[in-house]
Amino acid sequence: FNVFRLDDVGGKGVNSYPIRKRDWYNITLVYGNGKYLYADKKIEVQKHALVFDNPKVPFGWEERDRITGGFFCVFSPDFFHNLANPTQYSIFQPGEPAFFELTVKEAKQADILFERMFTEIRSDYIHKYDLLRALLLEVMHLAMKIAPGANLRTETLTASQRITVTFLERLEQQ
């Protein structure tokens, strides 16, 4: 597990982050504008967004130079030990919403949680990783509460979504 400020990584003038799969889970809080690439989708950030990425689905960014700030954290599935399993949460499942536009109030809530993570990771508190797991779960639940209907979707998947989900399932079986 680690958490970073977007201003501290990537360098100034970097306009894109190539779309590809990573070996870790990623949660990003973004301020400003930019284009988020997720599987076969391109989503434009309007003001504030919370984004959840998993190792099964490729992701990336375009127009990053328009993003004014934020945070991101990365973690492995093992980070939760027996506390939780990220794959059981809808935000980390293929075909489910992984991108959430935030209101100003929601963005402040997420910002407070990321600031606490940023402070804790640098502390010498002996149980800091237990606290970080709890804060990470709180960010995940914040997003799922923003779009509660997403967990109960009844719409059918498009052909490209079905193909993507089927491909990822078979890839996982290999």
User: What gap in Å lies between CA 104 and CA 61, rounded to an integer?
Assistant: 22
Over the stretch 70-104, which tens digit does the pLDDT of each residue have?
899 999 888 987 778 887 888 887 767 688 999 99
Query: For the residues 15-44, what does the mean pLDDT come to?
Result: 77
Which pLDDT score is estimated for 64?
Answer: 64
The phi, psi pair for 123, rounded to 5°, reads -85, 170
Query: For the residues 51-57, what does the mean pLDDT come to?
Result: 84
Which pLDDT score is estimated for 44?
Answer: 83
Percent share of the chain, pLDDT over 90: 31
